[in-house]
A and B are shown apart, each in its own frame.
Chain A
Amino acid sequence: MHTGIDELLEKYWHIPGGLVPLLQEVQKVHGYLSREILEKIASGMGISLAKVAGVATFYHQFHLTPRGRYIIKVCMGTACHVRGAAEVLFAMEDELGIKVGHTTPDLTFTLDQVACLGACGLAPVITINDETYGKLTPGQVPKLIEKYREEAAVVH
């Protein structure tokens, strides 16, 4: 079930400060950090579940619930903000029917906002998995999402 965790624990349990990179690597494999995973890590590292959960809930990078197949990150950096990122985000929320920070019930999309993607020249900018889309307008959103919906339908 939780493949690879034992190996990763073996690699990190004795390293001071190993908790954060361990959580990062486990999440890379499993997509998110379930309760069972955190319990396993706590007992494997010999620390309390409260400490592990405290760290996991502190950092934005860690997700305690399942994530969508496509992760949409809307940049909310200053440059994007003054060039209308909020409008794009609202359009995304409308189109997907979820609030930012959530995942569609069919686990197809997760909508996130991020501080700065560092592509300010392309503001407002979003990424969907590894693809970057710049100079977006709210009007372009439905078509863009549709493209991914179709892709998801084909694969399933």
Chain B
Amino acid sequence: MCVVEVKGARKLMAACATPVSDGMEVLTESDRVINARREILRLLIANHDLRCLTCERNGDCRLQDYCYRYKVEDTPYKGEVIEYPIDTNNPFFIRDYSKCIRCGKCVTVCAEINGAYVYDFMHRGFETKVTSAYDDTLQETTCTFCGMCVNVCPVAALVEKSTLWAGRPWEIKKVTTTCPYCGVGCQLKLKVKDNRIIGVAADRSGPNLGDLCSKGQFGWDYVHSPDRLTDPLVKRNGKFIKVSWDEALNYVAARFKDILNEWGGRAFAGLSSAKCTNEENYLFQKFMRSILQTNNIDHCARL
């Protein structure tokens, strides 16, 4: 799709791989280029599961976008279509290779960003398949379930399970937020429908440039958990009672004072969380040392 016409060149050139040189005249949307792109699209959809009606990427699919842009409605190449069974074995996403266009983005992101080297091109020619060795389920591989392959997939070959039948792309609001899991501050986009999170998309504005790990990508289900604490609780007579923040904080402050007076700083130990930022961790140890007068400080990243 990235072919462009370079004046003087015998054939079309790949825009992504041809270095620019002095005086080069490049035509990006000439008739010749458009015809070639249309032909390539016709070839791609000739070997693609075209059940767009219920496809999760319907409306958010690069193949659809380009077909629309170049007015490719149908393909004259009615022939063999390779159908692969859908792999639903891992808990986070499905692999539907009948929709794969063999762009190899998942191979690159898995090898060069994550370093897990799960995917590669297998076989060759028309039978080329981008998959794990022996089509293993991802649990059997070195996969860390970072989900970046899902985020870079331009079509619906890799789709988060949580988004299946959960809403059409245009019904989903994308809310940019910071991942709460650690201090890196990765940016991500929550896919929200009817005020409920149904998935995560990449956001390229933050320090992570769109890359995520499995926690940020798939670890958001606690948000809607019924077990989640929503108010401060104080145990009275063996039972947790809901209280206000002021009441809870006053109670904790009072107890800190009592213990400090009675036993000294040695009675305290503080354990901080990787979910905090560096600044929060700094404040935490400062508070422990100067207010609670203890050096018993540790951090969950050391455990």
Partner-B contacts on A (CB < 8 A): 35, 38, 47-54, 57-58
Contact = CB atoms under 8 A, between A and B. Distances in A.
B121 A54 contact: yes
B117 A47 contact: yes
Contacts of B302: none
Contacts of A54: 120-122, 133
Contact of B142 (A38, A48, A52): A48
18 contacts: A35-B134, A38-B133, A48-B117, A48-B118, A48-B120, A48-B133, A49-B141, A50-B117, A50-B118, A50-B119, A50-B133, A50-B141, A51-B117, A53-B120, A53-B134, A54-B122, A58-B121, A58-B124
A54 B133 CA distance: 7
Interface in B88-146: 111, 117-124, 132-134, 141-142
Given A52-B133, A53-B134, A58 B123 contact: yes
Residue of B111, B124, B133 most packed against chain A (CB within 10 A): B133
Contacts of B123: 57-58
Interface of B: 111, 117-124, 132-134, 141-142
A52 B120 CA distance: 9
Nearest to B117: A48
Nearest to A38: B133
A49 B133 contact: yes
Contacts of A38: 133
A52 B133 CA distance: 8
Contacts of A48: 111, 117-118, 120, 133, 142
Contacts of B142: 48
A25 to B, nearest CB: 21
Nearest to B111: A48
A57 B122 contact: yes
Nearest to B124: A58
Nearest to B131: A50
A53 B132 CA distance: 9
A51 to B, nearest CB: 6
Contacts of B118: 48, 50
A48 to B, nearest CB: 3
Nearest to A35: B134
Contacts of B120: 48, 50-51, 53-54
Chain B CB within 10 Å — which of A38, A49, A50, A58 has the most? A50
A46 to B, nearest CB: 11
Tell which of A38, A51, A57 has the most Cβ of chain B within 10 Å.
A57
B244 to A, nearest CB: 55
Contacts of B119: 50
Nearest to B119: A50
Contacts of B121: 54, 58
Given A50-B132, A57-B124, 4 more contacts: A48-B111, A48-B118, A54-B121, A54-B122
Contacts of B132: 50
Contacts of B117: 47-48, 50-51
A49 B111 CA distance: 12
A143 B122 CA distance: 39
A49 B141 CA distance: 9
- Nearest first, the 9 closest Cβ-Cβ pairs linking A and B are A48-B117, A54-B120, A53-B133, A50-B120, A49-B133, A50-B133, A57-B123, A57-B122, A58-B124
